[in-house]
Amino acid sequence: MTTTTSNRESQEALGNNPQALVAETVARAKAAMAAYENHDQERVDDAVRALAWSIYKPEHARMLAELAVADTGLGDVESKIIKNTRKTFGTLRDLLRAKTVGVISEDPKRGLVKYGKPVGVVGAVCPSTNPAATPVNKAMMALKGGNAVIIAPSPAGAETTRKTVELMRAELKKAGHPEDLVQVLPPPVSKVMTEEMIRQVDLAVVTGSQDNVRRAMQSGTVTVGVGAGNVPVIIDSTADLDDAAEKICASKIFDNSTSCSSENALVILDDVYENAIAALERAGGWRCDRTECENVITTLWTGGKLNRSIIAKDAAILAEAMNLREGAKGAKFFMVEQDTVGGKHTLADEKLSLVLTIYRAKDFDEAKKTVAAILNVTGKGHSVGIHTKDDARARELAQATDVVRVLVNQAHTFGNGGGFNNALPFTLSMAGGTWAGNTLSDNLNYNCFINITHLVTTIPEDKPSEEALFGAYWQRYGK
């Protein structure tokens, strides 16, 4: 039975009652978990491989990428193919290296044995920007922990997500695993149905709008939410300007800036400002004049919201819509220079488009302040970057900035969610710590999907003397 047929029969039987429909879906998930060989790491890893192959398979990766662009109107096909395959491959690498069920670690000297156990039924809320890659990514992590997962698609990407779930279920069946380990909420997609799912599952994992994250956090269900992106990047005086420009361009234009990790602003030090702009122009950037800057602002936001008809669209479409000069139609992205950091719905805000805001800073201290001001508008906790040859500058930025990730000399879109040349876990969901109202200060990873039982045995007493613990304090202040 396909997931579509199963959902249709459920709706007919339960009369479109959201509470009953979700309860029936959760019951099937629990039954699947009972049949899942989730005590056996080898079988669990087999199921994870099945999910990965469902989207990594070349014809599936392309078909889902094409469907996603047609379904949502966001991004471009070739980028989504890369996202479907690269993220899946990297996540599979990470997951296959980890123990998550049964004994996951032993420390005889400390008398500790740790056992990994499922968290239960996971509810995964997924965004329209990644309607195929994110559901597979979350499902892989959920099943790695021995759990079942129910996917709540975005209305804009629902058709793609349903097809993705259908492919995952088919691979699970082929490998001898219960298909209902992965399900999708029955149509039609609605906030009511999604919120009901969040209330009934054991763990909610929410990627997408911050409104969805807040609602989930207030639901009473244990929730892992992620923060908004709005990445500012410093170009330091010591940077390799052409290398920085090429990386920034590659990251900015990937999937037409649908990624929350895409660079949204550059803060360039004064002594290299014009040279850096020239390097960005060589990489494909278009430097907007003052009139064009105004056109960009009025076109990007309408009625206090991002203009959905132009976000994540090709450069030529943006150039036309924003009434830029003729030469702009051949550019890859558009640079708008600002003297100060504005507030919400200004060029300091997240743009989800091929528009890059540029600020000039007189020195590194001012650059750090500008970065902080941008993050206070949107994106606090998420990420910043720096292009520099001075490691001390990178460390200074990390020390001073309230973010989870500081990327050095990297293209953010290809590094923030894990890379083959950095140590961050591969993911499509990046939390921002308490700065962003999140419980997680890391990339979403398999650890979020397991409970741990600690077996504790006695060890030789480890009790220091009072002098060892209080001696220095006594010397300074007396007893």
Comparing 10 with 257, the larger pLDDT belongs to 257
Split at pLDDT 50, 70, 90, the class of 216 is confident
Q: Does any domain span residue 432?
A: no
Task: Tell me, yes or no, whether 322 and 449 share the same domain.
Answer: no
Task: Tell me, yes or no, whether 126 and 268 share the same domain.
Answer: no
What is the pLDDT at residue 303?
Answer: 86
Q: Does any domain span residue 433?
A: no
Task: Tell me, yes or no, whether 199 and 292 share the same domain.
Answer: no
Q: Tell whether the model's pLDDT for residue 215 goes beyond 90.
A: no
- Chain centroid, CA 141 distance in Å: 14
Task: Tell me, yes or no, whether 185 and 286 share the same domain.
Answer: no
Q: How many percent of the chain have pLDDT more than 70? A: 97
Split at pLDDT 50, 70, 90, the class of 443 is very high
Residue range(s) defining the domain that contains residue 126:
3-226+444-454
Q: Tell whether the model's pLDDT for residue 241 goes beyond 50.
A: yes
Q: Tell whether the model's pLDDT for residue 5 goes beyond 90.
A: no
Task: Tell me, yes or no, whether 328 and 236 share the same domain.
Answer: yes
Write the CATH number for 307.
3.40.309.10
Task: Tell me, yes or no, whether 218 and 87 share the same domain.
Answer: yes
Split at pLDDT 50, 70, 90, the class of 400 is very high
What is the pLDDT at residue 1?
Answer: 45
Q: Tell whether the model's pLDDT for residue 118 goes beyond 60.
A: yes
Task: Tell me, yes or no, whether 148 and 271 share the same domain.
Answer: no
Catalytic residue (choose from 260, 288, 293, 448):
260
Task: Tell me, yes or no, whether 49 and 131 share the same domain.
Answer: yes
Q: Does any domain span residue 326?
A: yes
Q: Tell whether the model's pLDDT for residue 110 goes beyond 80.
A: yes
Q: CA quadruple 97, 103, 108, 112: dihedral positive or negative?
A: positive
Looking at the 3D structure of the chain, how many domains does it have? 2
Comparing 213 with 134, the larger pLDDT belongs to 134
Task: Tell me, yes or no, whether 122 and 73 share the same domain.
Answer: yes
Averaged pLDDT of the chain:
95
Q: Does any domain span residue 283?
A: yes
- Secondary structure of the chain as H, E, C letters: CCHHHHHHHHHHHHCCCHHHHHHHHHHHHHHHHHHCCCCCHHHHHHHHHHHHHHHHCHHHHHHHHHHHHHHHCCCCHHHHHHHHHHHHHHHHHHHHCCCCCEEEEEEHHHCEEEEEEECCEEEEECCCCCCCHHHHHHHHHHHHCCCEEEEECCHHHHHHHHHHHHHHHHHHHHCCCCHHHEEECCCCCCHHHHHHHHHHCCEEEECCCHHHHHHHHCCCCCEEECCCCCEEEEECCCCCHHHHHHHHHHHHHHHHHCCCCCEEEEEEEHHHHHHHHHHHHHHCEEECCHHHHHHHHHHHEECCEECCCCCCCCHHHHHHHCCCCHHHHHCCEEEEEECCCCCCCCCCCCCCCCEEEEEEECCHHHHHHHHHHHHHHCCCEEEEEEECCCHHHHHHHHHHCCEEEEEECCCHHHHCCCCCCCCCCCCCCECCHHHHCCCCCCECCHHHHEEEEEEECCCCCCCCCHHHHHHHHHHHHCC
Task: Tell me, yes or no, whether 267 and 211 share the same domain.
Answer: no
pLDDT digits (tens, 9 = 90+) for 50-79: 999 999 999 999 999 999 999 999 999 999
Write the CATH number for 54.
3.40.605.10
Q: Does any domain span residue 461?
A: no
Q: Tell whether the model's pLDDT for residue 289 goes beyond 60.
A: yes
Q: Tell whether the model's pLDDT for residue 12 goes beyond 80.
A: no
Split at pLDDT 50, 70, 90, the class of 16 is confident
Q: How many percent of the chain have pLDDT more than 90? A: 91
Task: Tell me, yes or no, whether 178 and 252 share the same domain.
Answer: no
Q: Does any domain span residue 381?
A: yes
Q: Does any domain span residue 468?
A: no
Task: Tell me, yes or no, whether 259 and 392 share the same domain.
Answer: yes
Residue whose token pair is 């997951």: 95
What is the pLDDT at residue 2?
Answer: 52
Q: Tell whether the model's pLDDT for residue 157 goes beyond 90.
A: yes
Q: Tell whether the model's pLDDT for residue 239 goes beyond 70.
A: yes
Q: Is 293 a catalytic residue?
A: no
Work out the average pLDDT over 162-180. Answer: 98
What is the pLDDT at residue 316?
Answer: 95
Q: Does any domain span residue 335?
A: yes
